Structure 1
Amino acid sequence: FGHCGSALPSYEASVQLMRNGGPLPSHLFISSQVAPHEGPYGRFLELDDQELAVEIELLIHKMGGKALPDIVELNTGIMRSDLEANRSYIQSCPETLPFPITAIGWNRDKEVNPSLLGGWKEYGQASFKVLDGDHHDFLQAPMELLSTIAEAMRRYI
């Protein structure tokens, strides 16, 4: 499972395992991320550190926490590194995976509209699911997300 920027390393790790004969995942779950050949994508890529800090503070407050300056600063640095990795990950030609992909969108996602996930069909057997929520609702592990993953994984039990 990879959400937003972490979907790219999830995909790339799958590719590297496939290329090197490693154990393959049974299924790849992608959430709120355009296909690699359609990126990099997203407004966060254009934000400076101060703007990123504001976004982090908003998320911390949304989740019921208190935005302590040291935590905001630490997470701004982490987010900046993630964004630079996202920006530099260029995939010109999709590499097909030999296992299913489920691309998950969120109906109130203002960062990555679910309609932008269609490019994942070029990476193998892809299915698409739109769940109720916004860009960060995956953090609360809503039952609809857990059910989507559990339902797809039942065939491997």
Structure 2
Amino acid sequence: MKKLFVLVALISSLSYSLDLEVSASVIASPNRGALSVANYFRDKTISTNLHFSRANSEHLMLGVGLAYHLLGYNGPYAFHSSDWMIDMGGDGHFWQLDFGLGYQYAFFKHLGIYFEIGYQFYAGNGGYYTYYDEGKLSNKELLFPLGIGILFPF
């Protein structure tokens, strides 16, 4: 149900607003992935994004994110991100779910930066897990990923 809500919010935001933003990560972001396209609506207090997180010979990872910007575009925000991880080896596919906080600031009209920290866990193989390594899901440690990147608002 949560995934359906995110999809409806994303489609709705694209139909009501054209406040777009492209972001590229220096350190892959838990909310924005490595590269994302975001849309802002409701006076830039809510954003949705489509993002690309990772691709190599073993995995492909694509996702969507939703964020609430407490003070508008510049300032702190809370986010949730869902990424679908496809294992190219065919062993399993699962969701990577991130919740966290971030801060963004636009220095100029079309240039800014952001910083994020999140809590990451995985849903797949009939359970919830806190760690993923080399195709294996486990609960051996907790992950709090950081993200730092550049914003290009339109």
Q: TM-score if structure 1 supplies the norm length? A: 0.24
* Higher RCO (CA 8 Å, separation ≥ 6 residues): 1
As a proportion of its length, which structure holds more helix? 1
Larger radius of gyration: 1
Answer 1 or 2: which has greater strand percent.
2
